[in-house]
Structures are given as C-alpha cells and as structure tokens.
Amino acid sequence: MKVSMHNHTTLSDGSNAPEEIIKGAIDRGFTHFAITDHVCTLGYEEHSLDPTRYDEYIKEIRKLSEKYKNKIKLSVGIESEYYMEKKAFVSDISSVRDKLDFIVGSVHAVYKNDKPYAVDELCSSFRNVIKEIYKDNVKELVEDYFYNYNSMLLDLKPEVAGHIDLIKKNNIDGIFFDEYSNWFKDMVENTLDNIKKIDAVMELNTGGASKHGLRNMYPSEYILSRAYEKGIRMTMSSDAHTLEMLDCLYETGLQRIRKAGYTEIYAFDSEKKEFIPFEV
Ligand SMILES: [Fe+2]
C-alpha cells in the first residue's frame, strides 16, 4: 500500500492536469490516492477551484477514478481554507460536501485588521507581516494561526487534518519563535485534542519538505509522538503540485511515523467509502 491523501492539479494551483498526476501516481506505485484541489478563496481565485464548477470537478475525478479503478483507488476531496469570523472570504462547499469523499482541513493564513495574510509565502513577507501587522508580537500571530486552525477543525470537521504546523514554514532555525517553548507546545496540544475530538486522520505532509528541506515536513517529530500518545490516526500526503513531488521523501515520512510508535496508517478506500488501516 502506498498512500497520498492530499494532491493538487491544474484545476487549482498544481502544474499537472488530473489525469497526468493520476498516471504519475500509478507509475510510482501508489495504491490509494486523492485529488484535493483548493477551495476558492478571496484573492486566490486564479489558484483555486472555480466555485461555480465544484460539481464538474467531482464528476471529472470520479470519471478518472472509474477509468483507472483496476490500477489505483482514487478519491476526491477539497482542501479547505478558513478565516475565523470571515467565512465569506472562502466559498461555501456545503452543497457538495456529501459528494466529496473527504475534506483536507487546512489553514494557510491569519486574519487581522480586516485582511488575510498568508503564512506560507516568502520569508520576507512573513517577516513583514510580523513587523507591520503584528507590531513584532509574533506570539499573537501564532495564536491567531492556531485559533483559526482550531475554529476550522470544530466548524468544518474535516476528515483529514492538513499540515497542522504550517506556521513554522518560515521559522528557519527558530528565527521568529521557539517551536519548543511551552506556549507553542500548549497550542499544539490543544490542536491535537481537537483533532482527536472530531476523530480526524492527521496527515504526515511531505510537500513542504520536498521544496524547502526536512524541517518543513509537517508535523514536527515531537508533535507526531504526542499524536501517537493521544491515539490520533495518521495518513500520508505528498501535497503534490508537480509530478516530482509525488513520492519525494515518502520513505522518510513513513519512517518518522514509525519512529513515533505507529504500526499502522490509514487511507481512504474508495470502494468501502471509509478510511481503513494498514500496517506500516
Ligand atoms: Fe495546503
């Protein structure tokens, strides 16, 4: 079994058409694979799904799922966004929720003074947000990120918890905050408790690491160990935006899951329509 439950195509910000990335996944031996393009978000319309065509998107992936059913178990989802009280910034997917196999619940931005600010763009712009918008109060920014993430968990109740510590992306060598401080760990604990509460599967996301190095594998190893202790189920996600990203660092990710104590991970079974465990 080889699994990736979070991947993108040209229908949002990926570089490959759905069929191309699916064929790539088959070539690399994936057995369980999901297309989870980005929900339409204000300011990112060019890089997200067309909100008037969610049904078409699902139909297109279902058609490919049928076409390749003897080669791969393919599912279809959407990756979320969330802006605290400003839900209007993100298009409503409730009408297609039941047609999707699952949602990958993610947050890529904080919301402050009536505006969203991405936390996963260039380090220079992250620094600028800390300085100009948060007046150097980086703890407040991290709090906003986790508040947003936890609101998303409890509101959307996604089946998959996406890159939970994305906020660390630009925190190279801890230049902005201490990821091992008690206050940061407390926010992580609270997030893990909510993942457990809604019974979501948490992803080990190799996408960031394939582009920016191992420190950008999500979540960090100590978070994985805590997730194991709390009995949170795990899955694997390439978060592929290109063919090259498909199984880059897959084995390393799996090793980290095992090191944390896990002996099984979960994958969505498109026939049984549920997440099923298998040994790793
Ligand atoms: Fe994402």
pLDDT digits over 180-193, tens only? 999 999 999 999 99
Ligand 1 centre and the CA of 79: distance in Å? 7
Q: How confident is the model at residue 89 (pLDDT cuts 50, 70, 90)?
A: confident
Q: How much distance in Å is there from the Cα of 201 to the middle of ligand 1?
A: 15
Distance 106 CA to ligand 1 centre (A): 6
Please give the distance, rounded to the nearest whole angstrom, from the Cα atom of residue 108 to the centre of ligand 1.
7
Phi, psi of 245, rounded to the nearest 5 degrees: -80, -10
Q: pLDDT at position 241, please?
A: 97
pLDDT value at position 83?
80
Q: What is the pTM of this model?
A: 0.96
Identify which of 84-88, 90-94, 235-239 has the greatest average pLDDT: 235-239
186 contacts: CB under 8 Å, gap ≥ 6 = none
Q: Which domain holds residue 81?
A: 3-279
Mean pLDDT of all residues in 104-118: 92
Distance (angstroms) between ligand 1 centre and the Cα of 38 equals: 8
Using the Cα atoms of residue 168, residue 170, residue 172 and residue 175 in order, give the sign of their dihedral.
negative
What are the tens digits of pLDDT across the range 27-55?
A: 999 999 999 999 999 888 999 999 999 99
- Supply the DSSP symbol for 132: I
Residue labelled with tokens 């069929």? 19
Using the mean position of ligand 1's atoms as its centre, give its distance from the Cα of residue 172 in Å: 19
Q: How far is the CA of 71 from the centre of ligand 1 (A)?
A: 27
Residue 6 Cα to ligand 1 middle (Å): 9
Q: How far is CA 277 from CA 92, 177, 250, in A?
A: 31, 36, 18
Within a 10 A sphere around the Cβ of 81, how many other Cβ atoms?
24
How many angstroms separate the alpha carbon of residue 125 from the centre of ligand 1? 18
Instruction: Please give the Cα distance from 192 to 201 (Å, whole number).
Output: 11
Burial class (CB in 10 A: 0-12, 13-18, 19+), 212: middle
The total domain count for the chain is 1
User: Which amino acid would we find at residue 159?
Assistant: E
Distance 162 CA to ligand 1 centre (A): 7
CA 204 to chain centre: 9
- Is a pLDDT exceeding 80 seen at residue 130? yes
Query: CA torsion, points 185, 106, 267, 243, in degrees to nearest 10?
Result: -110
pLDDT of 261 reads: 98
**What CATH code is carried by the domain that includes residue 241?**
3.20.20.140
Q: How far is CA 249 from CA 46, 205, 256, 265, 280, in A?
A: 29, 10, 11, 17, 16
Question: Is the pLDDT reported for residue 90 higher than 90?
Answer: no
- Angle made by CA atoms 40, 112, 213, in degrees to the nearest 5: 65
- Does residue 247 register a pLDDT over 90? yes
Cα of 105 to ligand 1 centre, how many Å? 9
Query: By percentage, how much of the chain surpasses pLDDT 70?
Result: 99
Structure tokens that stand for 92 in this block: 């409503």
**Average pLDDT for 129-151:** 97
Residue 91 makes CB contacts below 8 A (sequence gap 6+) with: 39, 40, 41, 51
**CB-based contact 143:184 (threshold 8 Å):** no
CA of 225 to the centre of ligand 1 (A): 22
- Asked if 107 and 148 count as a contact pair (C-beta separation under 8 A), the reply is yes
Q: How far is the CA of 240 from the centre of ligand 1 (A)?
A: 10
Mean pLDDT across 154-168: 97
| Mean pLDDT score, 200-228 | 96
97 CA → ligand 1 middle, Å: 18
State whether residue 198 is helix, strand or coil. Answer: coil
